[in-house]
Amino acid sequence: MYGADTTMRDRTFDRLKRSIANEHADGHGVFLYYTFPFFQNVTGVNLQEYYHKPEVMFQVQQEVYGMLDNCGSFAPDPGAVAECSALGGQVRFDAHDFISVKEAKIDTLEDILKIKPGDPWGDNYMRVALETLQYMVEHAPKEIKVNPPVVIGPFTIAAQLRGISQMCMDIIEEPEMAEALLDVCTETAINYMKAAEKVMGGHLHHILMGDDISSFLSKNQYREWVMPTYERFFKEFPNTQRWLHNDANAGHLLAEIKDGGWDAWQYAPSIEPLDALEGTEGKVSLMGGINPVKMQSMTPEETYATCTQLLEKFGGNNKLVLSPGGSVNQIPIANLRQIFKAADDYKI
């Protein structure tokens, strides 16, 4: 199917594209979710420089992708803080310089109504990410594409700002507060991706939305409170593929994810691939199946064998995409290479 001159990247990305397009492929795609702990683990980069200097983030990602046959894409990587940092959340760093956001001081509906939608070019981490995106677009070599930053789902933004338990209680006890907070979070996420779209020349091939915390809700709550935020958000990007990262325990939401218009979903290793396939009725490309924690301590040979055994379970259905169910973090480079090799060797 592929000529002798194709690269591992060419073949891997083409199979992923065909999975999403419901087209036949000779094998399975692979999807890896790279984030700052992984890049630091591989290169030892100073994370303060990585977050705040576009040239450092670019150089680190380029170095690491070179170790992986360029099987990755440049993308701004500020952690899950960009939207919250524009809405009153205080960015903080732990002893390892891992980045997170502290809850905002929100006690009443009036507090929420005072919050203005975040300005993507304001004094916040959306601007940091967008400036990095600009640098990447200007400097990326032709063999590696550039993706927009991951956008955080409105419910997860709201839960970070309000506190997870409090936000979950609000939808029952203070629905006006929950609705108002989701409204401003959704508008902020839209503003962020509109700015990214402009930086990238007016079109986004896909948007990856991270929304783990929404899995805390029941099926009915998810349909009432979460799915409308997705529809409002993606209405602004009608020609853009919808990719979901939710590697929390979302096994009870398979029907909801099926009905959410998602083209692809990275799911948790606690969900069996064939259960996810049955629950989503083959309508979503499912990126997962591998436990990223277990793979940290495997040998390359064990990794290859594990991936091959998993591919055999897929039964030739290329809607199932080989992927760790979460970010790759501490998985060794040698093991990641075996994930790509196993998928490339296994033909369907």
Q: Are residues 211 and 82 in the same domain?
A: yes
Of 72, 227, 63, nearest in space to 143 by CA: 72
Q: What is the CATH number of the domain that holds 122?
A: 3.20.20.210
String of DSSP letters for 108-166: SHHHHHTPPPP-TTSSSHHHHHHHHHHHHHHH--TTS-B-PPPEEPHHHHHHHHH-HHH
Domain that holds residue 296: 1-44+246-348
Question: What pLDDT, on a 0 to 100 scale, did the predictor assign at position 4?
Answer: 75
Query: Residue 317 and residue 330: Cα distance in Å, rounded?
Result: 29
Question: What pLDDT, on a 0 to 100 scale, did the predictor assign at position 2?
Answer: 75
232 in a structural domain = no
φ/ψ of residue 3, rounded to 5: -70, 165
Q: Are residues 121 and 84 in the same domain?
A: yes
Residues in the chain, total: 348
Q: Are residues 309 and 197 in the same domain?
A: no
Of 213, 254, 261, nearest in space to 233 by CA: 261
173 in a structural domain = yes
- The domain boundary, picked from 192, 215, 238, lies at 215
To 10 degrees, what angle do helices 333-345 and 300-313 make?
40
CB 348 within 8 A of CB 28: yes
The structural domain count of the chain equals 2
Model pLDDT for residues 204-260, shown as the tens digit of each residue? 999 999 999 999 999 999 999 999 999 999 999 999 999 999 999 999 999 999 999
3-state SS assignment for residue 321: strand
58 in a structural domain = no
Question: What pLDDT, on a 0 to 100 scale, did the predictor assign at position 200?
Answer: 97
Q: Which residues of the chain have pLDDT under 70?
A: none
Question: What pLDDT, on a 0 to 100 scale, did the predictor assign at position 17?
Answer: 97
- The domain boundary, picked from 215, 232, 262, lies at 215
Question: What pLDDT, on a 0 to 100 scale, did the predictor assign at position 3?
Answer: 77
Question: What pLDDT, on a 0 to 100 scale, did the predictor assign at position 5?
Answer: 83
